[in-house]
Amino acid sequence: MKDRTKTITRQTKETFVRLTLGLDGHQEISIQTGIPFFDHMLKAMAFHAGFDLRIEVNGDLEVDTHHTVEDVGLVFGKAFMDALGDKRGIKRFGFAYVPMDDALSRVVVDLSGRPYLVFDANFDVPVIGTLETETIAEFMKSFAFEAKLNLHIETLYGSNNHHIAESIFKATGLALRQAVCVEGEEMPSTKGVL
């Protein structure tokens, strides 16, 4: 099997992001975005995906968390797409339901080459820790569009905002783990390309 590891760096006037992603990892995870709750969510996602993930970020957190979260999503998505290569032999589809005490989320993914996000989750607080809750959808959008995948996220119910967020990130990790799994050598598309 080819090496499915990529390192991507992105620098703007607002952020510097360096990210290394290994799809066939050993859950070697080191994340420092400057946003502790976001780090916690990314670690949970990478762990349940079975990925190696290293992220170093220097962002304009004195403004807010938006630029940092969005740019991490962009870089993560680009690394993910590049690490997949031509996608030959992958399972392509993945799904997961994850309960987190009071909350239950469902995530379904298709590594189709067509970017799309459906995000149906509501938070009743504006911030968890120092992470603006509205940026969770922004992260998923940036990731899905750069990775060129369909990502459908739905929280079926939940009252604790931490639990809702955690169920979303864990379910995303599990769904991605299924989808990137190599199970043959064929292109998993009737079109012959993804």
How would you classify residue 87: left for phi > 0, otherwise alpha for psi between -120 and 50, otherwise beta? left
What does the pLDDT look like over 31-61, one tens digit per residue?
A: 999 999 999 999 999 999 999 999 999 999 9
Q: Where are the domains of the chain?
A: 5-180
Contact indicator for 101, 163 with CB cutoff of 8 Å: yes
Distance CA(159)–CA(11), nearest Å, equals: 37
> Would the pTM count as exceeding 0.95?
yes
Nearest CA to 121 out of 77, 162, 92 is that of 162
| Domain 5-180 class, CATH top level | alpha beta
DSSP-H helix ranges across 31-160: 36-49, 66-84, 134-147
Q: Under 8 Å CB-to-CB from 192, ≥6 apart: which residues?
A: none
Nearest CA to 39 out of 59, 9, 11 is that of 59
DSSP state of 62: T
Per-residue pLDDT of the chain in tens (194 residues, 90 and over written 9): 689 999 999 999 999 999 999 999 888 999 999 999 999 999 999 999 999 999 999 999 999 999 999 999 999 999 999 999 999 999 999 999 999 999 999 999 999 999 999 999 999 999 999 999 999 999 999 999 999 999 999 999 999 999 999 999 999 999 999 999 999 999 899 888 88
What does the pLDDT look like over 128-148, one tens digit per residue?
A: 999 999 999 999 999 999 999
